Structures are given as C-alpha cells and as structure tokens.
Chains A and B, each alone.
Chain A
C-alpha cells in the first residue's frame, strides 16, 4: 500500500486549515498560541502535558510535535515516558472504572 491516511509532512500544513475557513482557523491558532505561553504553568510544563494528551488522543502529528518540543525543552526520556504512562493509566483506568457500572448491573439482575 503506497498511500496512508497519515502523512508526517502534513503536520507542516496544519496552518492551511485556515484556507477553507479563515476566521475560525485564525481564532483557533491565536488561542492555541496563547494556551502554550508561559503563564501560571510554564511553557515547559505545558509541553509535557501536551505530550501525555497526544498519547491519550493517539494523534500521530501531536506525538511527533510534542516529542520534539518536550525534548527540546529539556525533559528527559524517562520523564517523557512517565508522562506517557500517566496517559496510559488514565486511559486504562477510564476503562476499568466502568467495571463498577458492570458490577452494578450484574448485581441488579443477578439472583
């Protein structure tokens, strides 16, 4: 198969989404830029959060972008992997906690 839904070169074209809807696109990128500035959290801390979230939402573009960004901002490989584990734990936990719902239902219907 020579074509893929995901192409790493498309990441650089992200800004072009504004070509089809300028106003919303520009608002999004202005907002995005504001979010990642140093504020109550540092840009460095936000980068690590973004890396974890990128894994939670399984976005290959975001994983590429924030693996580079977090490493550039000085997070170590071990720190970055711990962040991925946090995403994994939340995702796993999100499934597992529904086990309580399953238990509730089973208890409701079981003799």
Chain B
C-alpha cells in the first residue's frame, strides 16, 4: 500500500508549499486569472456565507486506504484523530446552535476513530440528521467493523459512499488493488439491511471521482449508467450519485505534477468556471471542523490549513454570529468547486 505524502516526507505534506504551487505553479511563473477576479465579475466578492446549516466534522486522517486522489493525504500511517474532548465541544456547539440540521462526518475513515460510535449516538440524541462518508472497504477491513451496516441502520444514518466507478479497473487504479471487489461486497451488505431500497428510508448515495486529470461528466447521465451497471452485474441498488471534481490538493496535486497534467488541468478548471456554481458552493452553507477542533470554510481549506477568517477560530469558542460575518478564504484551488456543474460534498450544485 502507498505511504501518505507525510510519511514519504514529500514537500507537498507542507500546506504552505502546496499553496505556493497552487497559486503560482511548480516553477513560480504559471499565471491564471485569479479566482478573486472571477468572483468580482460574478458580483460575488467579497465572498460571504449564506445560511450556515451543515456542520461537517473531519474526525481524523486515519484511513485503511491510501487513494491516489485523496486531498486529506489520509492513510494507515496517519495518526491524527479527534479526541473525545473535542467531540464533546462539537456536541456543545450543536446543542447551542439548532440551525445545524445536518451533521456530516468525514475523515480519513471516520469509523476508525475509537469514539466514532459514541459521537454518532450523541449527535442522534440531539435529533440531528447524520451523514457518514464511508469508504465502504472499512466494513470488511476488520471483524469489529462488520456490523457497521446494522449500526448505521439502527441510527438512521445517511451513507455517502465512495465508488469512483462501476468497473474494477478504474476504481482500483484510483483506490488500490482489491478495493472494487470489497466495495461491491460492502454495498451488498448495506443493501441487505435495506440501504438504497425504495421505501426503506435508508439513504445510500455513491460518490464518483474522476480517475485522472479530467472533469466529471453530467451527474444525471452518469447516475443512470451506474444504476444500470450495478443492478445488472451485482444486484446493487442505491439512491443518488454525487459527481465530485478532484481539487488540486495533496495527493491529487502530487499526481497532477508527476504526470505533467497540472497546468492543463488548472486551465480546464478555469475555462469551465461557472458563476451559477460559484454562487452555490458548499463553503457558503457549511462550517468545517478539523480533527484538532479548528474551524475552516471547507474540507479543502482545512487540508491547506487555511483557518477561518474570524475571531471564532476553534470549536471551543464557537460563535455562529462571528462566523456568519466572516469573508470566506479563497484561492486558485477554489476553481475545482466552480467548474462546469460545480462540485460539493453533495455532488453538482447547479
């Protein structure tokens, strides 16, 4: 299995190095239209949040996989996970801020955090909707995770599961050998307890990521292809497909640079800028909490260590009024969320 960039001591493990490359290219002289200028032309600058309603918590970088496109640089060698104390601070913030109806748990593999199940149960006690971003293979990775489908069902959790393609070849190329077969088994286990089945109320959504330096196709037509292929080949059903664009961050940035695709990919993102997508990007209605409790505009800014531009910077001092007033921090990486039909943790935005 691949090592994380951090374990490889890659320069890209340093967020400042990444930002330099994203802003100015590998040689320092790569200039594209600044994202701020595009927002100004769309009458969206300064970039402000709308109603913040999604509370996204990254509970750790530990993962059982090291996917080639991962913007978190997650993997088995990453030990940074959220403590129970920080989780308690998240719960306190949720208790005091009822407008957060959707709690989105991500990682790494969030299930690998030893306090994951306790955290989910406590959030459910606050009567909130919980989404878990599941990589699927974790369900089969160890006996102690085999009952996750029952646990998810018991707490009525919405599952957003990564399956970058409906064929083995493309999936394994991005996520590692054997991932496709394990993902299929895990999806069948989720279907067995009712996930994805009509009338069950148990939502199973899949995530498509391009396996290379290109943009996602139309989400609706790809969803139809996925549904046709998965039911025919494996008897699998699911609810929605989210087509997500890869942002030039961390391991996907590393891939772009080493494959010689960085500049053409960035040009592709810039040329596909869509002001309607910009108006609806997720950082406008989401607050992202890092494993150590710091607050970010989105999971991507989190990985670039760009903390919110607000006096309320940490979950211990969570202040929604302060956060509502902030300017969202932007950079050239933001073009990844505004290209074409746009991209968010819920897929296309227009």
CB within 8 Å of B: which residues of A? 12, 38, 42-44, 68, 71-74, 76
Count, chain B residues at interface, CB 8 A: 15
| Whole-angstrom CA separation of A44 from B226 in the bound complex | 13
A73 touches B217 (CB 8 A): yes
Contact of A43 among B167, B210, B215, B218 (CB under 8 A): B218
| Whole-angstrom CA separation of A45 from B68 in the bound complex | 29
Determine the chain B residues whose CB is within 8 A of the CB of A68 once the complex forms. 214
| Whole-angstrom CA separation of A52 from B116 in the bound complex | 51
B169 touches A74 (CB 8 A): no
Tally of contacts, chain A with chain B, CB under 8 A = 27
A32 vs chain B, min Cβ distance (A): 17
A89 vs chain B, min Cβ distance (A): 25
CB within 8 Å of A: which residues of B? 165, 167, 169-170, 210, 212, 214-218, 221-222, 225, 271
| Whole-angstrom CA separation of A71 from B212 in the bound complex | 10
Known: A72-B210, A74-B225. A44 touches B217 (CB 8 A): yes
In the complex, what residue of chain A is closest to B170 when comparing beta carbons? A76
B221 touches A42 (CB 8 A): yes
Determine the chain A residues whose CB is within 8 A of the CB of B271 once the complex forms. 12
Contact of B165 among A12, A44, A74 (CB under 8 A): A74
B327 vs chain A, min Cβ distance (A): 33
A12 vs chain B, min Cβ distance (A): 8
In the complex, what residue of chain B is closest to A74 when comparing beta carbons? B225
In the complex, what residue of chain B is closest to A42 when comparing beta carbons? B221
A72 touches B169 (CB 8 A): no
In the complex, what residue of chain A is closest to B212 when comparing beta carbons? A71
In the complex, what residue of chain A is closest to B166 when comparing beta carbons? A74
